[in-house]
Amino acid sequence: MASSRLKRVEESATMKAANTANKMKEDGIDVISFTLGEPDFDTPKHICDAAADAMYRGETHYAPGAGISELKKTIANKLCTENKLDAKTSEIIVTPGAKQAIFEVMMSVLDDNDEAILFDPAWVSYDPAIKFAGANTRWVPTDTENGFKPIDLEEYINEKTKLIVVNSPGNPTGAVYDKQTLKNIADIAIDNDILVLSDEIYEKIIYDQEHISIGSFEGMQDRTITVNGFSKAYAMTGWRLGYVHARSDVIKPMLKIQSHSVSSATSFVQYGGIAALEGPQEPVAEMVERFRMRRDVLVDGLNEIGIKCQKPGGAFYAFADVSEYGDGNSIAEKLLLDAHVAVTPGSAFGESGKNFIRISYATSIERIQEGLERIKTALV
């Protein structure tokens, strides 16, 4: 009974792996899950208090489709000061999560048989969103030995290319693109009149490097669609709150989709978003520092076992090369069945990930250390 549109789309591999691990847990098996990209920290109290206060004072009704004006002003100020974007409130939509924003972008700017560029490997939901829009994905290889930077992007551009997707810091690799890499992408976009979707959801979870918004480059203001949200930096995954900034002729069709689908982001949740951006940022810094410690324990431990893994520059994922022991699918299955360690096979993120597994280190150091011992026992 599924539509032909749905037949083009695969099940989310990250959700599938997480669901399998949860089923095993329900059966009483102690599974260490390194699957979902969700901070294991509680949302900071001042954010919860702001949302609760809003709820109790009656902010429980329909919100404007594009978001409440107070939050849009706060987002615009954040984009101007932190990201060097010339952001106006009329160019911003508040969405129920960054994923919804990405879906709306694809449905708004892509037509049947258009092509969108993804850098392989890429987050699992970009490709399905492109397919939902009736377009096709053009996969561009990356240098797996040098920060997963795109290789020969120019060779994959043609008359059908409508959009380039940039995700830095990135999922699944944790790669952070430097200024030169982003400038190369920007120059190609400008020369070929192509839009860029910049997914910056992990911008604040970054180590020893600088986050740069590609929309801040000269000539990129009007061709960049910047997506961000609150789930990762502020541990607000369940709140479902994101936003998108783009020129008005991109925003208007997106708002049309939002008004006919989810209507708006939850009203009182948006007041939590204001508190997140305007309130103390120490909780974010503390969380990032703990992620850094976990990253170092995990990556060092993997390399000691003999699993090659670069140290990611951002986000909270390690993309580990398991080719010494098998392909990513077989190793993920072996670790789950033999070691009760759940990871995501790298093939879920693109062809280049077939010999990799993604390990989310959004869990305690104690569980990471135990997971490493289990992995070592299963593989060595």
CATH number at residue 144: 3.40.640.10
Q: How many domains does the chain have?
A: 2
For the domain that residue 8 is a member of, what is the CATH number? 3.90.1150.10
Question: Is there a single domain that holds both residue 331 and residue 248?
Answer: no
Mind spelling out the 3-state secondary structure of 333-346?
HHHHHHHCEECEEH
Range of the domain at 289: 4-43+282-379
Q: Which of 283, 266, 272, 245 is nearest to 82 (CA)?
A: 245
| 87: exposed, middle or buried (Cβ count in 10 Å: 0-12, 13-18, 19+) | buried
Last residue of a domain, which of 278, 300, 320? 278
* 380 residues of the chain, pLDDT tens digit each: 677 777 777 776 667 777 777 888 888 889 999 998 899 999 999 999 999 999 999 999 999 999 999 999 999 999 999 999 999 999 999 999 999 999 999 999 999 999 999 999 999 999 999 999 999 999 999 999 889 999 999 999 999 999 999 999 999 999 999 999 999 999 999 999 999 999 999 999 999 899 999 999 999 999 999 999 999 999 999 999 999 999 999 999 999 999 999 999 999 999 999 999 999 999 999 999 999 999 999 999 999 999 999 999 999 999 999 999 999 999 999 999 999 999 999 999 999 999 999 999 999 999 999 999 999 999 98
**Helix 45-56 × helix 267-278 angle, to 10°:** 140
Phi–psi pair at 35, nearest 5 degrees: -100, -65
Distance between CA atoms of 319 and 355, rounded to whole angstroms?
Answer: 10
Report the pLDDT value the prediction gives residue 27, as an integer from 0 to 100: 84
Report the pLDDT value the prediction gives residue 14, as an integer from 0 to 100: 67
**DSSP 8-state code for residue 308:** E
Question: Is there a single domain that holds both residue 361 and residue 341?
Answer: yes
Distance between CA atoms of 220 and 225, rounded to whole angstroms?
Answer: 9
Question: Is there a single domain that holds both residue 25 and residue 82?
Answer: no
The residues facing 226 across adjacent strands are: 198, 245
Q: Which two tokens stand for residue 283?
A: 């909780």
Phi–psi pair at 223, nearest 5 degrees: -115, 5
Last residue of a domain, which of 223, 258, 278? 278
Question: Is there a single domain that holds both residue 290 and residue 368?
Answer: yes
42-46 long-range contacts, CB within 8 A, separation 24+: 42/235, 43/234, 43/235, 43/236, 43/239, 43/272, 44/234, 44/235, 44/276, 44/279, 44/280, 44/283, 46/275, 46/279, 46/280
Question: Is there a single domain that holds both residue 208 and residue 76?
Answer: yes
Question: Is there a single domain that holds both residue 154 and residue 224?
Answer: yes
Q: Residue 219 region, left (φ>0) first, then alpha (ψ -120 to 50), else beta?
A: left
Question: Is there a single domain that holds both residue 232 and residue 89?
Answer: yes
In contact, 235 and 43? CB cutoff 8 Å: yes
Report the pLDDT value the prediction gives residue 6, as an integer from 0 to 100: 77
Could you identify the residue written with the tokens 């092509």? 115
Question: Is there a single domain that holds both residue 337 and residue 296?
Answer: yes
In contact, 189 and 161? CB cutoff 8 Å: no
Q: Which two tokens stand for residue 308?
A: 């090659």
**DSSP 8-state code for residue 10:** P
Question: Is there a single domain that holds both residue 256 and residue 309?
Answer: no
In contact, 72 and 66? CB cutoff 8 Å: yes
Report the pLDDT value the prediction gives residue 13, as an integer from 0 to 100: 65
The residues facing 140 across adjacent strands are: 119
Identity (one letter) of the amino acid at 161?
T
Helix, strand or coil, per DSSP, at residue 166: strand
Question: Is there a single domain that holds both residue 214 and residue 350?
Answer: no
Distance between CA atoms of 123 and 18, rounded to whole angstroms?
Answer: 16
Last residue of a domain, which of 278, 311, 340? 278
Distance between CA atoms of 111 and 94, rounded to whole angstroms?
Answer: 24
Question: Is there a single domain that holds both residue 78 and residue 144?
Answer: yes
Question: Is there a single domain that holds both residue 156 and residue 226?
Answer: yes
